[in-house]
Structure formats: C-alpha cells, structure tokens
C-alpha cells in the first residue's frame, strides 16, 4: 500500500525519564519527523528557548488560544497549562511526516481519541522512583517543592502505563534508543482507516 499520510508517536513519562535525550539520539535515524512544540504558561527554565522547547505565553494568551480553537489538546500539568497547537500538526501530517509529541497521560488520551488510528504511544520511565529522584536532583533545575510535585505526579502517571502501546524502562540509554528507533519506524507504518478502505476497494480489481 502506498502510504502518503503521516503518523503520530506520543511519548509520555516523568520529566527526568530521558525523553528529550532519547529523541535527540535517534533523530537522524527515523526519517522525516516533526517534533510538536507545545504552548505553556509555565515559566521558562534556565537553558530553554522560546520556540525551541516551548512557546511560552501568559494565562490570558493561553485562554485566547483555547477560545480560537487552536489546540488539538490541552491540559493542566503540575499547575501549569500546556497545549498542542493544531495547525503545524495538521501540516506535518499532510506532508507525510511522523509527528512526535512529548505530552502527559491526559494528552495521550486526547490524541488517541482524535487520531487513534494513526497513533502509537510509548511511556518512558526510569527503572524506579528512587532513580527518578536521583536524576531530578542531579538536574537541579527545580526547587525542592517542584521536585516533590513531579515525584508525586510520576507515581500517579505510572498507574496508567497500561494505556500505552509500549513501555521503555530507560536504564541503558543506548538500548532504550534502539528500542525507540524500532517503535518510531513501526509507528510510521500505521495506516489511517480511510486509506485502508480505499485500498480494499482498489484491491478488489476483478469481478467474481
Ligand atoms: P515540563 O514542564 O517538565 O517540560 O513538562 C511537564 C509535563 O507536561 C510533561 O509530562 C510533558 O510531557 C507534559 N506536556 C508538555 N507539553 C504538553 C502538551 O502540549 N500537552 C499535554 N497534555 N502535556 C504536555
């Protein structure tokens, strides 16, 4: 089947699971992809850049985007608003790209209900809660209070891993990268149901 349209790969997991590093590591090996840059009301962290890591906006601007129906999905995570812009995703999908989302479990549910037939989802986690804590401490970008919130959230999110197609326990970075590469390649092969229906019609090319 000649596949023209794009596909979606959702990556979820606690901050500190290594999602960003894994994506960077496999970027050259998974073909043409678009990484969805979310809009958020959370303050910019040190080392982050507007338009690279997020589009940073205030509450009012975020509300305007909701009212204008600009989001494919949006949610409150750790007390801040996060949203996925619809337009660039639509464009990337029409261009046949694999669209990568780094979104939370609520986002995964929303994307699955809207784009389920072309979506593959992966939950990425460190092997244990204590390892996650260690990684967050080493990263030291968060206050003690924020870190506590992240650990609490991680305990809640891990309860929902059965909602994902795959789980990667990111213990060995190179091994995890290889697994993610395979998943990304397979994700690209997902076919929208309307294309399948067209294919079936074309396939029945003789009268019985
Ligand atoms: P952080 O503030 O550490 O960058 O991200 C916090 C959480 O928000 C992560 O779990 C991340 O996956 C999630 N997140 C980032 N962007 C979005 C988004 O557009 N929608 C949803 N639902 N979650 C998001």
- 26-85 confidence digits (pLDDT tens): 999 999 999 999 999 999 988 899 999 999 999 999 999 999 999 999 999 988 999 999
Residue 153 CA, closest ligand 1 atom number? 10
* pLDDT (average), residues 139-161: 88
Contact 61, 79 (CB under 8 A): no
Q: Is 42 in the pocket of ligand 1 (CB under 6 A)?
A: yes
Q: Is 103 in the pocket of ligand 1 (CB under 6 A)?
A: yes
Contact 104, 82 (CB under 8 A): yes
Cα-to-centroid distance, 3 and ligand 1 (Å): 30
The residue whose C-alpha atom lies closest to atom 2 belonging to ligand 1 is: 42
Separation of CA 51 from chain center: 17
The residue whose C-alpha atom lies closest to atom 15 belonging to ligand 1 is: 103
In this predicted structure, what is the pLDDT of residue 1? Answer: 60
pLDDT, mean over the chain: 93
Report whether pLDDT(102) > 90: yes
Q: Is 107 in the pocket of ligand 1 (CB under 6 A)?
A: yes
Contact 170, 125 (CB under 8 A): yes
The residue whose C-alpha atom lies closest to atom 17 belonging to ligand 1 is: 103
pTM value > 0.85: yes
* pLDDT (average), residues 171-198: 94
Q: Is 65 in the pocket of ligand 1 (CB under 6 A)?
A: no
In this predicted structure, what is the pLDDT of residue 118? Answer: 96
Cα-to-centroid distance, 205 and ligand 1 (Å): 47
Least confident of 17-21, 33-37, 43-47, 159-163: 43-47
- pLDDT confidence band for 164 (50 / 70 / 90): very high
In this predicted structure, what is the pLDDT of residue 187? Answer: 97
Element spanning 10, H or E: strand 7-12
Q: What percent of the chain has pLDDT over 70?
A: 98
Domain 7-36+97-203 coded CATH 3.40.50.880 = no
Using one digit for the tens of pLDDT, what is the confidence trace for 129-147? 999 999 988 887 778 888 8
Gap between the Cα atoms of 67 and 71, Å rounded: 9
- Between these two residues, 3 and 140, which has the higher pLDDT value? 140
Cα-to-centroid distance, 169 and ligand 1 (Å): 19
């Amino acid at each position: 089947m000649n596949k023209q349209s794009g596909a979606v790969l959702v990556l979820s997991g606690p901050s500190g699971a290594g999602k960003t590093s894994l994506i960077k590591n496999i970027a050259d090996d998974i073909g043409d992809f678009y990484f969805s840059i979310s809009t958020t009301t959370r303050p910019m962290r040190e080392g982050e850049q507007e338009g690279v890591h997020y589009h940073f906006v205030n509450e009012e601007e975020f509300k305007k985007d909701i009212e204008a129906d600009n989001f494919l999905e949006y949610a409150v995570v750790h007390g801040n608003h996060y949203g996925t812009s619809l337009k660039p995703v639509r464009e990337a999908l029409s261009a046949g790209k694999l669209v990568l989302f780094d979104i939370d479990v609520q986002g995964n549910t929303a994307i699955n209900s809207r784009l389920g037939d072309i979506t593959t989802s992966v939950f990425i986690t460190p092997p244990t809660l204590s390892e996650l804590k260690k990684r967050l401490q080493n990263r030291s970008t968060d206050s003690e209070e924020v870190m506590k919130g992240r650990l609490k959230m991680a305990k809640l999110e891990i309860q929902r891993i059965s909602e994902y197609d795959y789980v990667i326990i990111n213990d060995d970075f190179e091994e995890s990268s290889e697994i993610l590469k395979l998943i990304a390649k397979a994700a690209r092969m997902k076919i929208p149901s309307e294309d399948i229906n067209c294919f079936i019609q074309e396939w029945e090319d003789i009268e019985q």
